[in-house]
């Protein structure tokens, strides 16, 4: 079955440093989504990428979808303490699939 | 719009018992998915319902079942509970648009099996 690998599992950064998490799928994806889960909370949708090579930005967050549509990344510039949480990628494998496969997430800690 | 609601929020059960969890999606959303979240396995897909039909099922034993009602509310049932079923159970609703769909998660039901 489809697998989505996400690295690193944990990341500790000093406030103001950049942060990147990477997602890799075993199969070609029709789209990929990113979610953030704050400690004690539930996943919250951040963005969806659909096109090969797509890049989207949300303020300090930059999302990329690989050319082969098998990998993706989330980059945060100049982290803040409000960025703390676990970031998940989730891939949708193809037409007719109604199942999102989640990566195990990257837990981000920001040291003030 | 009100968000996704799940009841109960916390539950403690004994091994061998069964449990039913409830999820009310955002108004107008017809798709409801269920996930099990544990520290070791992350978010694992259980099943997805759309218009009362189960369209997809994850790799979980038959003890895990679900259903969706005509008003899109959904329930999941776990029979013969095992210690390993202790987890946060999340439901998510979506309004299908295009080839993908963003999911809106509820706060979850924290199930503890003793």
* Cβ count within 10 A of residue A107: 17
Q: What is the pLDDT of residues B14-45, one digit of tens each?
A: 999 999 999 999 998 989 999 999 988 889 99
Q: How far apart are CA A107 and CA A34, in angstroms?
A: 13
Question: A97 pLDDT band (50/70/90 cuts)?
Answer: low
A interface test, pick of B25, B36, B58, B102 with most A CB neighbours within 10 Å: B102
Convert the pLDDT of each residue in A20-58 to its tens digit: 999 999 999 988 999 999 999 999 999 999 999 999 999
- C-beta atoms of A105 and B50 within 8 A: no
Mean pLDDT of A86-95: 86
What tens digit of pLDDT does each residue of B55-76 get?
A: 888 899 999 999 999 999 999 9
CB-closest option in B56, B58, B105 to A42: B105
Q: Which of A98, A42, A94, A102 is nearest to B32 (CA)?
A: A98
CB distance from B97 to chain A under 8 Å?
Answer: no
- Give the pLDDT confidence score for residue B55 in this predicted structure: 85
Q: How confident is the model at residue B98 (pLDDT cuts 50, 70, 90)?
A: very low
């Amino acid at each position: 079955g489809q697998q989505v690998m996400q690295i690193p599992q944990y990341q500790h950064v000093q406030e103001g440093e950049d942060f990147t998490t990477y997602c890799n799928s075993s199969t070609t994806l029709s789209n990929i989504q990113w979610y953030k889960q704050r400690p004690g909370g539930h996943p919250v949708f951040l963005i969806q990428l659909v096109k090969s090579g797509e890049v989207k930005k949300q303020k300090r967050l930059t999302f990329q979808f690989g050319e082969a549509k098998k990998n993706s990344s989330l980059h945060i510039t100049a982290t803040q303490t409000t960025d703390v949480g676990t970031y998940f990628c989730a891939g949708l494998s193809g037409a007719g699939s109604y199942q999102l496969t989640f990566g195990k997430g990257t837990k981000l800690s920001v040291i003030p | 719009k009100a968000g996704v609601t799940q009841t109960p929020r916390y539950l403690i059960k004994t091994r061998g018992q069964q449990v039913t969890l409830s999820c009310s999606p955002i108004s107008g959303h017809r798709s409801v998915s269920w996930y099990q979240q544990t520290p070791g396995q992350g978010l694992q897909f259980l099943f997805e319902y759309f218009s009362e039909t189960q369209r997809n099922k994850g790799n979980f034993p038959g003890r895990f079942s679900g259903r969706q009602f005509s008003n899109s509310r959904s329930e999941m049932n776990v029979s013969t509970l095992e210690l390993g079923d202790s987890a946060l159970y999340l439901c998510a609703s979506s309004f299908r648009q295009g080839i993908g769909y963003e999911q809106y998660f509820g706060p979850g039901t924290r199930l503890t099996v003793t």
